Structure 1
């Protein structure tokens, strides 16, 4: 969740969706057109992946659900309702994921979680990711839905993300030689029920700690009354959604991703491919085909194929289209590009750190934190600690680029 998200969260009555009929029609036509093209050019599976991404984009936009501002707000003001929403999201996710991952299949689809090593690359990558998300004013998923909502200021960060991710693929083999511990999967180690109970207790402890600290500092908890003056049917369609709606929806949609693709939702996986394709289009002569990252099974196929043949890229595009649709449904779509020069610089530098960090840390706040913890992998918790520490540093650095610390 970034500072740009404050634009999306308002308490005044919302304009009716019909205020932007042309933009709404265009967003629907774009989504329907690409869905139809994928169905004809590939298959129904590709179309469903795009639509699932669009559903995630609608959820992210309407709930203003993210991580950047949530963490920074807690660091600077002690307000923790967004972090408690993340704990709810994770609680719903582990209850859904753990039984399916233990069984190894879901609705006939083989499924695998993200269980990764506890490595120096996770520590360093997540740490610089945490810095990058604060000075760049957004994370991987946040930039996607901000861009879809008309915040074109997210594009420099996305470009930096793709460049940083490509750079990391060049260094990827070196990072794999650095010290690491074997992956630890709680599902295999403890069994499904004990692993779920342990995780729920940890989520409850974190939520309880944020409540205690917030009450001690402010005397009371901040209410999640986002759009509470609107009928629920209107809020569902046009937003804004309470955090609890977003938390549950994201957990369920991530579970749907597991069922459809066979793995959890992963935003950062698309960015190295985008960087590689851009380098190829610009004839930079990088010979990425011979870099160790791209020789791994699956990644070599992605590199040889097109962007629309890659499931991670399709979902990312879907998030942008879904956010566009949500913004027009809310009557709040507007193109915004102006930004001070220092903040342009921050977006690019932050994007580079996001891309490099996410690629060597086995994912971003979605793939490593959300997906890792939902998979029962301890590397997800290691990522969280390192990225939160990086957010402390990034929050302190923000004034250097003309941002406030809050």
Structure 2
């Protein structure tokens, strides 16, 4: 997760952010995605070492390991999120807040079709769609496992015996043999790209952007770190963080703390590649 946090700042987006930016025509993100796939594939190859030869804790669930039950775990989570939001507002009031972009003036169908949507509407949509994803395929929303699959299939096409890797043994073996379109994560990823393209085109925002030597190098390093880190951490900020916390798993919270630490460090690395340091109201994802 720490590696992923660094990579997210250098690569210009997280896993979903990379797909979203590609759908919007941000050219350098194709480089990020390419090396994201490379990093994820290397991570899949190395994963048995990290999971079988390194020390590990037993799985810990806020619901079942504490005796709170799912209702109690949900309530504790909501209280925790409320405290985080409250502390954030207090800190924000004590500092000089950066200027925010003007609120879109469009209303009605025009705003629904062309944006931008209010944050609460996006949050509700994400929550409902994540629940629908969980009910449809039996697991929370994920992104990066598909990158490992794509990279492994490409490596296999060049003669690499990926089927012998520990990562592709057991339940994962069928995915390697089947079409990528039989993989629900792959379908979801293509859906993100298509949705971003439709949204950016409808809003008149789709355009290809310039690639410089600095952001090219940052995208290569960032993509590799995100891909490798995501495999070790069992997902990105969607599969491991968002999905982990929604599933009451302790690893989701650990992921968030360590990714923030990596992000903080990467803020000092971005200028080395000619990248600006994001303001508090900016986002790379």
Report the alpha carbon displacement of residue 267 of structure 1 after superposing the two structures with TM. Answer: 0.8
What are the equivalent positions in structure 2 for 1:231-380 lying under 5 Å apart?
A: 231-281=107-157, 283=158, 285-297=159-171, 299-336=172-209, 338-380=210-252
Helix, strand or coil at the partner of 1:150:
coil
- Structure 2 distance, partners of 1:226, 1:131, is 31
How far residue 169 of structure 1 moved from its aligned partner, in angstroms, is: 1.0
Residue 275 of structure 1 and its aligned partner are, at CA, apart by 0.7
Give the TM-score of the pair, scaled to structure 1. Answer: 0.66
The offset of 1:223, in angstroms, is 6.7
Instruction: Look up the match of 2:82.
Output: 204
Contact kept? 2:28, 2:215, Cα under 8 Å = no
> How many pairs does the alignment contain?
275
RMSD: 1.5
Q: The residue matched to 1:404 in structure 2 has which SS?
A: coil
Q: State the shift of 1:224 in Å.
A: 8.2
Aligned counterparts of 1:221 and 1:184: Cα–Cα separation in 2: 39
Q: Where has structure 1 moved over 6 Å in runs of 4 or more?
A: 220-224
1:113 alignment counterpart: none
What residue number does 2:16 align with? Answer: 141
In the alignment, structure 1 residue 186 sits paired with structure 2 residue 58 = no
Q: Secondary structure at the match of 1:158?
A: helix
Equivalent pair of 1:168/1:355 in contact (CA under 8 Å): yes
- Aligned residue for 1:321, secondary structure, equals helix
Alpha-carbon distance in 1 for matches of 2:92, 2:25: 33
Counterpart in the other structure of 1:22: none
Structure 1 residue 259, shift from structure 2 partner: 1.2
* 1:233 to partner: Cα distance: 2.3
How far is the alpha carbon of 1:153 from its aligned partner? 1.6
Q: Are the structure 2 counterparts of residues 225 and 246 from structure 1 closer, same or farther at C-alpha, using a change threshold of 3 Å?
A: farther
1:118-171, CA deviations, whole angstroms, 9 ceiling, x for partnerless residues?
A: xxxxxxxx0000000001111100010111111122111001110000001111
Q: Distance in 2 between matches of 1:263 and 1:224?
A: 36
- Shift in Å at residue 296 of structure 1? 3.0
* Structure 2 contact 197–206 (Cα < 8 Å) conserved: yes
Q: Which has the higher contact order (CA 8 A, sep 6+)?
A: 2
Q: Which consecutive residues of structure 2, in runs of 5 or more, have no partner in the other structure?
A: 279-285
- Write the mapping of 1:121-200 to structure 2, written as runs, cut at 5 A: 126-176=1-51, 177-189=53-65, 190-200=68-78
- Kept in 2: contact 1:224–1:243 (CA 8 A): no
Determine the C-alpha separation between the residues in 2 that align with 1:225 and 1:165.
Answer: 38
